[in-house]
Amino acid sequence: MLNCICITFSQEHQHIAGDALSYPDIPGFITLKTDLHQHTVFSDGEVWPSIRVMEALRENLDVISLTEHLEYQPHKADIPHPDRNRSYQLAREEAKDHNLLIIPGSEITRNAPIGHSNALFTTDANALLADDPLVPFSEAKKQNAFVFWNHPAWYRQSPTGNPILSDFQLDRIKDGQLHGIEVINEYDYAEESFAIALEHNLTIMGTSDIHGLIDWQYLEKGFHRPITLVFAKKRSLESIREALFAGNTMAVYNGLMVGKPQFVNPLIKACLKVNKVAYMPNTNILEVELENISSSDLLFENQMEYTFYSSSPVFEISAKEVFTLKIKTLEKVSSIALKLKALGAYIAPKTHPVVSWDIEVE
């Protein structure tokens, strides 16, 4: 008879990896990194809810929502679940010991022109199930849910690839039942959706709409998932809800930033840290060392009266990297207004923001 000695190893899980996302706060707000459109096996996704929590922790997200399809349940034979809140409950349990907020949510899934919409902050997803397409929206409003229109440019809803703003959506906006719109979904940025957001004062959203693994779809290809940056007063669910209803957001997909200027401009300004400002010895060429502290590569074009030395007027500062800009000031100055157009950012369709930094020379 053999005596077996079993040894149990206790292991601390380090969730945050080199893939961690980072964006600075802006004046008056904290910047929260969110992905509010995801799926698991509790609708048409391919993973358990706990995996979504682990993925979010790896990328250092602050907030997620698992927005399972209410009506579309292809795995129901294998995973029967009459309670449509179950995915949220499992994710919340997995996240309880971590610094990650979980928002309850569901996806209302109908054919065009109704299309797909996510309802966030629902108190009971089961109450949104109904044959009448108006019921999910009216019930979401009763629950004080934040509702946004998903992938309006999706080719299966619009063969042209452009969103179709129907009377149904217009009526939901008028009745206070539709509050936001995705301008970035998965890999797609739809500037026509951005135009709708600005015209109808809808909150700007960017989401992964992930069904498989984040690692396979994004990280192993060298990308991050699309996210919504939410500018909130506090790191709490109630503050996030307030910020979403107020439209305090911008959509980000790697180097692409989409939002209103009151958020895009200060965010980009906060992303660049000025480390050193001094003239090259025996010259009137000013060296400005800039550090990009964000997770987005930033592409700029010079908008100053001064030109650059040893640099194109269009240049990129990679995420987490340092770049030294050499400015020909012609004569020595004690201060300078660094003025750059952010070519990877949009504050309206085809419109880039111009951002300025007031810099004192050492």
Q: Looking at the structure, tell me whether residues 172 and 300 fall in a common domain.
A: no
Q: Among 259, 285, 303, where does a domain finish?
A: 259
Q: Looking at the structure, tell me whether residues 115 and 213 fall in a common domain.
A: yes
Do residues 271 and 296 lie in contact, with contact meaning Cβ atoms separated by under 8 Å?
Answer: yes
- Count of CB atoms within 10 A of residue 284's CB? 14
Q: What angle is formed at CA 13 by the lines to CA 9 and CA 19, rounded to 5 degrees? A: 150
Question: Rg for the chain (alpha carbons), in Å?
Answer: 23
If you average pLDDT over every residue of the chain, what do you get?
94
Band (pLDDT 50/70/90 cuts) for residue 78 is very high
pLDDT score of 190: 97
Q: Looking at the structure, tell me whether residues 325 and 239 fall in a common domain.
A: no
pLDDT tens-digit map of 4-22: 333 333 334 445 556 799 9
What's the CATH number where 126 sits? 3.20.20.140
pLDDT tens-digit map of 147-182: 999 999 999 888 999 999 999 999 999 999 999 999
Q: Among 213, 243, 259, where does a domain finish?
A: 259
Q: Looking at the structure, tell me whether residues 115 and 34 fall in a common domain.
A: yes
Name the domain count of the chain: 2
Q: Looking at the structure, tell me whether residues 77 and 213 fall in a common domain.
A: yes
Q: What is the mean pLDDT of residues 308-335?
A: 96
Q: Looking at the structure, tell me whether residues 232 and 292 fall in a common domain.
A: no
Q: What is the mean pLDDT of residues 55-73?
A: 97
Domain span at 220:
30-259
DSSP string over 311-336: S-SEEEE-TT-EEEEEEE-SS--SEE
What's the CATH number where 289 sits? 2.60.40
